[in-house]
Amino acid sequence: MSLKRTTTVAGALLLAAALLSPPGATAQQPATLAVPDISLANVQAHLNSLQTIATNNGGNRAHGRPGYKASIDFVKAKLDAVGFTTQVQQFTYNSATGYNLIADWPGGDPNDVLMLGGHLDSVSGGPGINDNGSGSAGILETALTVARENLQPRKHLRFGWWGAEELGLIGSNHYVNNLPATEKSKIKAYLNFDMIGSPNAGYMVYSASGQPTGSLALQQTLEAAFVGKVATELTSVGGRSDHAAFARAGIPIGGLFTGAEVTMTAAQAQKWGGQAGVAFDRCYHRSCDTTSNINTTALDRMSDAIAYALWTLAGTGTPPGQKFENTTPLNLPDLATVESSITVSGVTGNAPSALGVGVDITHTYRGDLVIDLVAPDGTAFRLKSSSNDSGDNINTTYTVNASGEVANGTWKLRVQDVAAQDVGRLNSWFLQF
């Protein structure tokens, strides 16, 4: 993780029943999720391999050093062996060649990509086992578990391991900045995992405050992964990890973090059982960031949370079904409410627990808009609240737990413009059952 200071605010635990319901939605019961346990022993084995790579290559896995390329080769070989499609992306920084590794799991909707990532490089002064071998290993074992379970999600799954993060987020910036606009628009969520095994561990979830539309749902999903296990706090890591490039591109982001050089407070120590007045990671950016610098309980919980988020967000158990679409444009006047209808027929039983709601809106200030999906019985599901987001347009797919609603009937998309000056148009919207 690049040098940072961490600001935390108290985070509220969410009820599991609210997991897949957007803010403001009527409470529904989510479908049972068969989320596998991520093997701590396997994650530790990956960390041992990264430690060996560093030991055999001058004590680090830094950009431009042989230990980093060996780390890329190690992760790539693991993924190639189980059926991922991998790509090594090269870039140049400080006159040295850097590498990103991108891995795609075959299948899923190519226009609806869920991406998980973290940086693989260390600083030059140490092996970087917590920072960020921990996140890299947790993501790797989650990806291998996807293959082991032969997961066939509705969304397309992509994983990324970034180079030269420690020198200023170089690799992730290179990846996002070189994606064509059409490819960026396909990434509907990016989750970042940077330092998830700090020895004096905190349990921190990236705050959605100030982030692109859709980030709140990711925050809530990650918070829910810890319900009944350990309390969490929200943290603002600013623009100092690899989520930053995705956020600038308007892609919803989320992430987990166990802390770096900032000291734990007394209240946090009481909550998490750590040491007050001691850094979350005393070996941050130092040579002692070895396999001995890992809190295995935190590493286990965080790795399980990665899997929880992936299985929850990927649309497992909900294969693509019938799609109903309204392509008639509808103007969105200033300070007005409009509704567009879709009549659903021929669907057996209730709507799914992961009903896809695709919305394409042209607007000059999307923060003005409040969007609800209204079921045939009048139940409203909040898709988007108003905000200070000054960006243009909305072109995204929301997921709603509508399992308590009969599928057939007239569904409505209600769009409210709640602030003055800006206008727009609803171009089209769809329901994916």
Tell me the pLDDT band of 33, cut-offs 50, 70 and 90. very low
Query: What is the set of active-site residues?
Result: 165
CB 264 within 8 A of CB 204: no
| pLDDT of 18 higher than 60 | no
| 367: its two tokens | 């923060």
Asked whether the beta carbons of 340 and 425 are under 8 A apart, the reply is no
The model's confidence at residue 31, banded by pLDDT at 50, 70 and 90, is very low
User: Which tens digit of pLDDT belongs to each residue from 267-320?
Assistant: 999 999 999 999 999 999 999 999 999 999 999 999 999 999 999 999 754 444
Residue linked to tokens 């960020």: 132
- Looking at the DSSP bridge assignments, the partners of residue 415 are 338, 371
Per-residue confidence (pLDDT) for residue 52, from 0 to 100: 98
Strand 330-332 versus strand 394-400 pairing type: unpaired
User: What whole-number distance in Å separates Cα of residue 270 and Cα of residue 6?
Assistant: 19
Q: Yes or no: say if 117 and 165 are a contact pair by the CB < 8 Å rule.
A: no
The 3-class SS string of the chain reads CCCCCCEEEECCCCCHHHCCCCCCCCCCCCCCCCCCCCCHHHHHHHHHHHHHHHHCCCCCCECCCHHHHHHHHHHHHHHHCCCCEEEEEEEEECCEEEEEEEEEECCCEEEEEEEEEEECCECCCCCCHHHHHHHHHHHHHHHHHHHHCCCCCCEEEEEEEECCHHHCCHHHHHHHHCCCHHHHHHEEEEEEECCCCCCCCCCEEECCCCCCCCHHHHHHHHHHCCCCCCCCEEEECCCCCCHHHHHHCCCCEEEEECCCCCECCHHHHHHHCCCCCCECCCCCCCCCCCCCCCCHHHHHHHHHHHHHHHHHHCCCCCCCCCEEEECCCEEECCCCEEEEEEEECCCCCECCCCEEEEEEEEECCHHHEEEEEECCCCCEEEEECCCCCCCCCEEEEEEECCCCCECCEEEEEEEEECCCCCCEEEEEEEEEC
pLDDT tens for each residue of 141-196: 999 999 998 888 889 999 999 999 999 999 999 999 999 999 999 999 999 999 99
In the chain, how long is the greatest CA-to-CA distance?
Answer: 66
The pTM for the full model equals: 0.70
Q: Give the pLDDT mean for 212-219.
A: 94
Q: What is the pLDDT of residue 2?
A: 60
Average pLDDT over all residues of the chain: 90
Cα 279 to the center of its chain, rounded Å: 26
In contact, 131 and 199? CB cutoff 8 Å: no
pLDDT of 348 > 90? The answer is no
Q: Is the pLDDT of residue 397 over 90?
A: no
Cα-based angle 354, 244, 7 (whole degrees, multiple of 5)? 95
**Of the candidate ranges 10-14, 258-262, 348-352, the one whose mean pLDDT is the lowest:** 10-14
pLDDT the model gives residue 150: 86
- Measured from the Cβ of residue 150, the count of other Cβ atoms closer than 10 Å reads 9
The fraction of the chain above a pLDDT of 90, given in percent, is: 79
Q: Quick count: other Cβ atoms within 10 Å of Cβ 74?
A: 18
Band the pLDDT of 129: cuts 50, 70, 90.
Answer: very high
pLDDT at 221 exceeding the cut of 80: yes
Radius of gyration of the chain (CA): 22
* pLDDT, tens digit, 9 for 90 and up, residues 104-122: 999 888 999 999 999 999 9
Backbone phi and psi for residue 326, each to the nearest 5 degrees, phi listed first:
-115, 115
Report yes or no: 25 and 17 within 8 Å, Cβ to Cβ: no
